[in-house]
Structure 1
Amino acid sequence: MKLLLTGANGFVGQYVQAALPCVPLPVGLDLRDRAALTAAVAAVQPDAVLHLAAQSFVPAAFENPHETFDINFTGTLNLLEALQSCGFTGRMLFVGSGDTYGQVPETDLPVREDHPLRPRNPYAVSKVAAEALCYQWSQTSGFEIIMVRPFNHIGPGQSSRFAIADFARQVTKIRVGRRAPVLLVGDIDVTRDFTDVRDVVRAYTLLLERGQNGGIYNVCSGREYRIRDLLRQLLTLAGVEATIEQDPTRLRPAEQRRMVASFDALQRDTGWQPEIPMEESLQDLLNDWEKPRQ
């Protein structure tokens, strides 16, 4: 099977390339360039598509919502049209986001796929729109599309723009004496649903094989982790003692206090469940930050 991969250079894309034989889009190709995208897809003639490429950093989405929408929605439309023009009849997996649910009342946890979508930032809006587009095409085009809503990822290689990866970076610097024993954090008394990136990629692989056309699936661990507890676990694993200081610049307005989701639909259709324990994910993150950075 010839798998076309968009977003190959991103955090998840690198794990997809390690796990599966796939054909990435040419380096530097912009999904907004219809002609170049159409030519690239025609050259590959894929049997399946994993569409990861997106502008996914929420602060950047607020700074430039037009760009975010152009990449995430219009870029997806360009990809769908490129696939159609080359006679694609396979399956495509569209990667959305658990962020599309927006503020979820604690009484509705764990969140399931039938929960209303109430996006609260331009990134989430773009993903809701692109997901709706993909559903329409799953019903009216000559190929099948499965949609996923992944929740928080964790694992080695993740950018320090994300909280747990940043904590691992800070803890490692303290451990090797390159930083005073003070950790700068945001609001760490919230909970999130974290899944190891390698388990996420396995879920995507199974859904490409077994997911239902037009189906929407949460990809999550089904476990609620308090950020403060994960930070303490990182400190313990590294054998480090440090004080914790809240940095006001890291606080987000109207933060969701608790989040956990259900992967029942994913398990029902594919048999998937998370396999990598949190302690292993955290240790691998710490080990990764030990390596020299370019």
Structure 2
Amino acid sequence: MTALVLGATGLIGSQVRAELERRGMDVVGTSTTPGRSDLAVDLTDAGQVEQLVGKLEPEIVVHAAGISSLAEAWAEPARNFEVNATGVLNLLEALRRHAPDARLVFTSTAAVYGPPEPEALPFTELAPLRPASPYAAAKAAAEVLCGQYEREHGMKVTVTRIFNQVGPGQSPSQAPSEFAREIALAEAAGRDRVEIGVGNPEAERDFTDASDTARAIADLAALGRPGTFNLCSGRATSLGEIIRLLGEVTRLDVSIAARPDHDRPADVRRITGSAAKLEAATGWQPRVPLGESLALLLDYWRTDSIRPHDD
């Protein structure tokens, strides 16, 4: 069975590729960077996408590509929409023409739910979409496109709304990786202590290890059932707790400094989700404890902190 993983060098895509290969599939990976994957493909180029799909005629496709940085999406909203929405349309159209029976798993985001009312948590898949950032709006638009192609053309399209992730290789534009990198740099500099600045240490998010996320995506690809599934742990953890857990696996004295100026547009106090639908469909549950995920992330930065990092 041939699987195509778009964005195969990213945090999620690299883990999905490894998981599908463990399950015996022939996997072709793409990225936008030549030499970092099997193929360099620009999803905003409809011709490139059609040529790729027409050549491979994959049976499973995982779309894990695109702009994931909120800061980048705010800075370049038009480019963000072109990549994260129009790129998905290009893929759907190519699949419709050349691989209509393929199973597509599209990685969306919990950000499509927008700022929650306290009584709305944990989010289920039935919660209304209220995207509050260019990034979330583009992902919501892509979800609508996925639903349209599933209904109008009978395509097998599964949408995953992914909550916050942790894992080696995570971009420092994401809070856990930013914190781990600061600690690794302080260790490398021979310092005894480090102060981690964070916009709101009490802000809570729902974190899942990227390898658990990849396992869920592979389960859904095997299932081939159209629909939308939350992918989350179901537990809320504060950013302050993330820093505390990192502090348990370093010799440094780690302290927290609240810096409200670090808050980003559309940041909210608490987000958590329910993965009950996913568990009912596949039996999936998260396996990797958060502390273990963070320890692996810190180890990654201990070996990678002296090299430039590609976001």
TM-score by length of structure 2 reads 0.89
**1:127 counterpart residue number:** 139
Query: Does 259-268 or 8-17 show the bigger shift?
Result: 8-17
Q: Any conservation in 1 of the 2:58–2:99 contact (CA below 8 Å)?
A: no
The 4+ residue runs of structure 1 with deviation greater than 6 A are none
Query: What residue number does 1:191 align with?
Result: 204
Worse overlay, 179-188 or 262-271: 179-188
In 2, the alpha carbon distance for the partners of 1:266 and 1:15 equals 19
Match of 1:54 in 2: 66
SS of the equivalent of 2:248 reads helix
Distance 1:160 1:220 in 2: 21
Query: Could you tell me which of 83, 88, 112 is aligned with 2:100?
Result: 88
- 2:32 corresponds to 1:23: no
Cα distance change, pair 70–176 in 1 and its aligned pair in 2 (3 A): closer
State the SS of the aligned residue for 1:239: coil
Q: Structure 1, unaligned stretches of length 5 or more?
A: none
Q: Distance in 1 between matches of 2:42 and 2:211?
A: 26
2:15 matches 1:3: no
Q: Report the RMSD for the aligned CA atoms in angstroms.
A: 1.6
Q: TM-score, normalised by structure 1?
A: 0.94
1:225 to 231, 237, 248: 237
CA distance in 2, matches of 1:286, 1:60: 24
Q: 1:282: which partner in 2?
A: 294
Q: Name the structure 2 match of 1:98.
A: 110
1:253 positional shift: 4.2
Q: Which residue of 2 aligns with 1:44?
A: 56
Contact 1:46 1:88 (C-alpha < 8 Å) held by counterparts: no
Report the secondary structure of 2:131's partner residue: coil
**Alpha carbons 1:211, 1:270 under 8 Å: kept:** no
> Secondary structure of 1:40's match?
helix
**Letter paired with 2:268:** Q
Q: Is this contact kept in 2: 1:37–1:79, CA < 8 A?
A: yes
CA contact (8 A) 2:5 2:28 kept: yes
CA 148–129 in structure 1, closer or farther in 2 if over 3 Å, else same: same
How does 1:29-178 map onto structure 2 within 5 Å?
29-178=41-190
- Indicate if the aligned counterparts of 1:96 and 1:147 stay in contact, CA closer than 8 A: yes
**Greater displacement, 29-38 / 166-175:** 166-175
Could you tell me which amino acid in structure 1 is paired with residue 180 of structure 2? Answer: A
Distance 1:88 1:276, change over 3 A: same
- Equivalenced residue count is 293
> Is this contact kept in 2: 1:37–1:82, CA < 8 A?
yes
Per-residue displacement from partner, 1:40-83 (whole Å, max 9, x unpaired)?
Answer: 11111101110111122112112211111111111111111111
Structure 1 stretch displaced more, 252-261 or 111-120: 252-261
Comparing 72-81 with 182-191, which one deviates more in the overlay?
Answer: 182-191
The alignment status of 1:202 with 2:207, answered yes or no, reads no
The one of 227, 234, 239 equivalent to 2:246 is 234
Cα displacement (A) at 1:230: 1.5
Amino acid at match of 1:23: V
**What do the CA deviations read for 1:186-205 (whole angstroms, capped 9, x no partner)?**
21111100000000000000
How many Å apart are 1:255 and its aligned residue? 2.9
Question: Shift of residue 248 of structure 1?
Answer: 4.4
Percent identity at matched positions?
37
CA contact (8 A) 1:47 1:88 kept: no
| Alignment gaps of 5+ in structure 2 | 22-26, 31-37
